[in-house]
Each structure stands twice: as structure tokens, then as C-alpha cells.
Structure 1
Amino acid sequence: MIDRSTDPAGWWGKVYSDVPLTTQWDDGAHTGNSKGRTPTSSNSMPKMVFAMLDALSVERGNRVLEVGTGTGWNAALLSYRLGPDNVVTIEVDPAVADEARRRFTATELTPLSVVGDGAQGYPDGAPYDRIIATCGISRVPYAWVEQARTGGLVVAPWGPPYGGQAVARLQAGEGGIASGPFVMSSAFMRLRDQRDQFPPTASFPGAADWPAEGERRTTALSPDDMGDWHHMFTLGVQVPDLFCRVECGQGGAYRLWLLEMSGQSWATADYEHGRTAYEVVESGPRRLWAEAEAVMSWWREQGEPRFERYGLTVTPHGQRVWLDHPRNPVPVLVP
């Protein structure tokens, strides 16, 4: 942590570097110069800010809703380009919003700054030509689609609970449907309305007594593959109730735990450098490592797609991820 009052040169150096900067820990409960438990607000990496603004494709006269004010930098950039009267920014945390308003006033760029739940959008300012979220989501709030003008764009970082996040660029169409491709990888803090609450590993039957009565076998699927961003995305899309934890060992070895939200089934796979077969234990009514193997087999059969081949469609009834074309939905193995 860097304090501007005691290290101004270091502070400015970080501000102008191409890295994300955490500006709040633990929803503001943590104070001081040390790190807290969980980062909850930040100034995004400049390269990502500009890439997402490029995907937003704003034009003169556009009206924009930003979800997640944060430091206010993104809203200020939009205000400079479009005029403050055309920008609405919403922030759930009153203290964060107040700090951003102070900065807006100092720069004479004063968009409409609202404190509220970004998942609800801001209907009083709708319709919007562009909507951009600076926080991660696993479900596109349908309010955003409803508040987007037909032909307008929604740009938001999207990813399943398992991990692997990418920026979706959706165009609002007729019939309350928005659809479009993923355009780049991303890693954003979750919208507070959608933070995942995972059950503790010890609450799963037999997990505290590993391997307990779990079935043991070997696999050729490396646990390391489960950490690649696009692999995590593909696995999380097809098995949307899946999450993972890592138990570190010595010399780079580790145990990967796959768990599911009902708290009944788990699987582990042990990684050691140089091995081609890995010890697996599966327990509960589902065989989670077998599900992961099926997903990765599907991924290879599809030509090992990266994010750019995936897309997302949102309707009044839900959302679905597709591959190459909206008429080709990615299969979901477990509802």
C-alpha cells in the first residue's frame, strides 16, 4: 500500500502504471496501509479500461450508463467525450461514490452520480445507447437489457462461478433480446449483488477425512489444465454449480478440489511436475472429475476454442452461452 502524503513519487508512479490498483478492502471495513482480506473496489488496469471503452464504441450524442463508479475515472473519460449530461454512473457503496463525486467536481466533469444497486440499472435515465459494467457478473441483470435502446450495446465482464472471465459485447435487439460475442479476457471483482457464497470444504461428507470412502483412480487430464482461463470458462459454463479450491504442497505440488454447490459431491486430483498420470479421488452422488473430463473432451472436439469463438444471448427467460453462432448453444451437463 502506498500513501500519497508520505510517498508522493511512488504514489504517482503507481497511478500512471498499467496495473489495477486496489482502492478498497473488505467493503471499507479494513483501513490502514496493509492489505485486507478481499479487494472490493479498484482502479482498473488502464489497458483494460481503454479496451472496454473501445468495445463500447461510443458516438457523439450517445447516452451511457456505467455500473460501478469506483474511483470515477471511467465515468470522467466518458463525460469528457460525450458531455457530463449524457453519462449516468451508479455505485453501491456511498463512501466510494462520495470520493468519486469529489474528483468529478475537481475536474469539472460532473456526470449524474447515483448511489444504488447497479443490478437494477437506473431506469429514470433510460433508455441508454450504451451500458458498461466495471464489475464482473455471472448473470446479466435483465434490467440492463430493458434499459438499453434497441440497437444499443451492453459491455460487461462475464464469467461462471468456477472462473474464467471474458468481456461480453451484447447488442440489444427486438423482443427484449440482447446477444453478442465475447471480445477479450478479463478479471473483475464481482457485482456485490452476485458475489458467490461457496460452502466450506469441511462441510462436504468425507472431505475432512480425505480420502474417506472416495473412489480412487488415475487420470491423464492434468489439474494444471483446470487453471487455464479459457478452460475454467468452458468448464464453468457447462457445469455451472462447480467451484474449486487448491491445497498447496511442496515443490510446486498441489491438490485441486472440485466441489459443487449442493455440498454433496467432491473430487480431488493431485498434481506433481513431470507426471502424466494423476491420482484422483471422487466422492458423492456425482463424479465431478469425470464431468470435467467430458467437458475437456468436448472442448478438444470443437477445435479448442478461445474466448473469441464464444458468445452470449440474454432473453426475458434467461441466458445462454453459444459457440460460433447463437443457434449453437454450449451444452450444459448439469442444470
Structure 2
Amino acid sequence: MNDNLEGHRRRAMEAMDVHRAWPEDAAWVRDAVEALPRQGFAPDRLWDWDGHAYVPVDRGTDPYGWARLVYAGPYDAAITEITHARPSSSLSCTSVVASMLDALDIEPGHHVLELGTGTGWNAALLAHRVGPTGHVTSVEAAPDLAAGARATLTRAGLGDTVMVVVGDGAHGHHDTAPFDRAIATYAVDHVPWAWIRQLRPGGGLVFPWGRLGHFAVTVAADGRSATGWLQGLAQFMPARDTAPIPEFDEVRADRSADHEDLLARDITPLHTDRDLLWALRVAVPDVVYATDTDEDGVNAWIHDGARSWAVLTTLPDGRVRAGQGGPRRLVDELGAAWDAWDGDGRVRRWDHGITITAEEQFVWAGDPETGPRWTVSAPAGVTNG
């Protein structure tokens, strides 16, 4: 078993090299991952998709399968918890963990706030960096996960550096504020103002936004705002109190299209162009889509999580058949957003940023003052301050 684990671990580290996924300017990240390997923070039961459902893979009965999931690859998370047949917690993929830690720009001695402890691996990597003169406060909503992470961190010799508390991550942790840095391990559509308020002026926050990408922002000298740039793309799990997004079939519910048309647009970029995917996510934030290919080209399944849906099918002659139903015309909305992106010069994803204040939040392109901007709406009942 140990040989099997070591082989998987070694291949995973080599894959990070091949994909150039280690941060060039933060060698400490690799050192931390070497010193605190994932296997020490993975629970004895992981979950694997068998093509129909998530099935348990236990370390005791299937050690090779378990090791394969722990070290699946640089871009693969290990699912550690299933709730209502869907993943609700994971050991994040190494490439994304490395990217976010690099973006956080932490130094020895820093006081760091982590939102979402999970298994405790990310908190351990933070503790490795801040060292004995620093401190990590990690907030976890699930008491059982918090207890498990606390025990694992203690076994790793980091119990004095990391304090795991049970609570709602949206509130941060006022009792141990202010912090030099803060990092969220779950996605938010709207950043809780408490995260900014509990940072020192000049402090930094890294967070996944909208389950697609992560931003790094810096708090202004007066503490009244934070702004920064997109750092990378990846899918993240939402906060635990976020309602799960329905599947396409649930939204369509076997209804026939009430509007059909033929499009001249090539929809291949929906499957291949990450800059376009990001632009559409920003412009039409509540629309979800999946793509796949067949012998004729790309097909797409689109929905708004409520009542509206659309199917785009590439035909042998290159045209696209668009069928849609529900109160919204999602093909038209996406087409308008796509045209606007074309008209703005196809702004790259890396040229987008976000500004956060107590009163408003908005994503912008190019320049926070003069560039195009899109308001980030707060959930109903949520107020800042």
C-alpha cells in the first residue's frame, strides 16, 4: 500500500511539472505540498463517478482505487463528501490550490483567515508558509468536518498554528481579526463584506467567484474598497447553504421546444474558447450550459436553473438548429452577450477584474473606472456593512 501511494504521489508531482502548474514565483508552494502530501488529509472514504452515480471507494477495501482518487491528476479534485447524491466537499485539485496560494501572496508571520476548512489540507499548507510566528484561523460550517480537520492538523504538528472554528464562513471570524490575508475555498457569487472589513488595509483576499474562476483583490488604504484581477479558471463548490443548481433535464422536464430556428453562427467556441466562456459567465451569470461534440460538431445544452432552456445542435451542413422553451429566449440572450464581447474586441479573461465596496460590487474589463462593467447582485436579504 505504501509503495502504491508513493508511486501515485510521485506521478502526480511529475504531472504538475509537465503541465507547468507550479507557481514560478512561489517555490514555497511546492515545498509545502512535498512536506504535507494530500494522502495525509484524505478521509478513508472517497467517492468516484461510475457513469451513473457517485460510489464510495474505501481505503480499507480498495486501497489502490483510493490512492488513484487521492492523486488523480493536477486538475482533478478528490470528492470527500456526497449530499443528496451530489458532491458537497472535496480535496481540491493540486493545480488550483497552488494557483490560489500563489495569488494570496502570504509571508511568514502573516495572520490568515481561511473560509472552508474541509479536510484541513489547505490550512496545513497555509500554516507551513506562515510558520511559528504566524497564525491561521479556519472557519468550517460542518461540525464533523471541523472536528476531523482539527484532529488531522494536530497529528501533522500544526495544531498550535491553525485554529479551526465552527461557524458560517460568510461572517468571517471577528474575534481573531484583523487579518493580513484571507482565502475562501468555496465559491461565492457575492463577496461578504465581512471578509473585506476584517482585513487590514493593504491586505489581500483570494476567492472563487461564481464557480468558474478566482479573483485576488487588495484592500484599499482607507479600508473602504477592494479591487483586483482574475487569476484563473476552475469550477468550485458553492457555500453549503446554496441551493444546488438543477440539471438540464430537470429544467426541461420533457417539454418540447416552443421556438426553433437555424443559426448561421459557428458554436465551436462555446466548447473551446475560455475567454468567451468567461465573458458569457460575466454577462449572463445565471445561465448554465454544457457542451459536447459528435461527428457533426459541437452541441450545447443551456438552462437558467428555473424554467427556460435551449438546445443547440450542429447539423452536417455546419448550420446550428436552436430549440428553446420557457419564458426566456436564452439563445438570444447568449447571442447578444457574444456579439457584445465581439464588439468590445474579445477582451481576454485575464483583463477582467472586480471591485468590492460596502455598497456595490462589479466586475469590469480593462479598467475599473472606464471599462465596461457588470453589477454583481446581492442575494435576496443580504446586506453589507
With normalisation by structure 1, the TM-score equals 0.82
Out of 190-199 and 67-76, give the one that drifted further. Answer: 190-199
Q: Which amino acid aligns with 2:241?
A: D
Alignment of 1:225 with 2:269, yes or no, is yes
Change (3 A) 1:224 1:118: farther
Alignment of 1:25 with 2:81, yes or no, is yes
Alignment of 1:3 with 2:58, yes or no, is yes
CA contact (8 A) 1:223 1:270 kept: no
Give the Cα separation in 1 of the matches to 2:79 and 2:331: 38
Change (3 A) 1:170 1:193: farther
> 1:120-159: per-residue Cα shift (whole Å, max 9, x none)?
2111111111011111222112211111111111101112
Give the Cα separation in 1 of the matches to 2:204 and 2:117: 19
Give the Cα separation in 1 of the matches to 2:189 and 2:114: 18
CA contact (8 A) 1:66 1:87 kept: yes
CA contact (8 A) 2:112 2:137 kept: yes
Change (3 A) 1:222 1:91: farther
Gaps of 5+ in 2: 1-47, 49-56, 378-385
Secondary structure of the residue aligned to 1:297 is helix
> 1:19-76: per-residue Cα shift (whole Å, max 9, x none)?
434343323x7xxxxxxx3111111122221221111111122110011111111111
Q: Which residue of 1 aligns with 2:206?
A: 155
Q: Which residue of 1 aligns with 2:383?
A: none
Q: 1:82-161 to 2 correspondence within 5 Å? A: 82-83=130-131, 86-110=135-159, 111-159=162-210
Task: Give how far 1:266 is off.
Answer: 3.9
Q: 1:1-335 to 2 correspondence within 5 Å? A: 1=48, 2-8=57-63, 11-12=66-67, 14-16=69-71, 18-19=73-74, 20-27=76-83, 37-83=85-131, 86-110=135-159, 111-159=162-210, 165-173=212-220, 174=222, 176-198=224-246, 208-211=254-257, 213-214=258-259, 216-228=260-272, 229-244=274-289, 256-260=300-304, 263=307, 265-272=308-315, 274-283=316-325, 286-330=328-372, 332=374
CA contact (8 A) 1:72 1:103 kept: yes
Give the % identical residues. 34
Say what the alpha-carbon RMSD is for the aligned residues.
3.1
Give the Cα separation in 2 of the matches to 1:151 and 1:145: 10
With normalisation by structure 2, the TM-score equals 0.72
Give the Cα separation in 2 of the matches to 1:40 and 1:285: 31
Secondary structure of the residue aligned to 2:98 is helix
Secondary structure of the residue aligned to 2:58 is coil
- Which gives a bigger RCO, structure 1 or 2 (Cα 8 Å, sep 6+)? 1
Give the Cα separation in 2 of the matches to 1:239 and 1:251: 29
Change (3 A) 1:227 1:13: closer
Give the Cα separation in 2 of the matches to 1:267 and 1:13: 37
Q: Which amino acid aligns with 1:87?
A: V
CA contact (8 A) 2:262 2:322 kept: yes
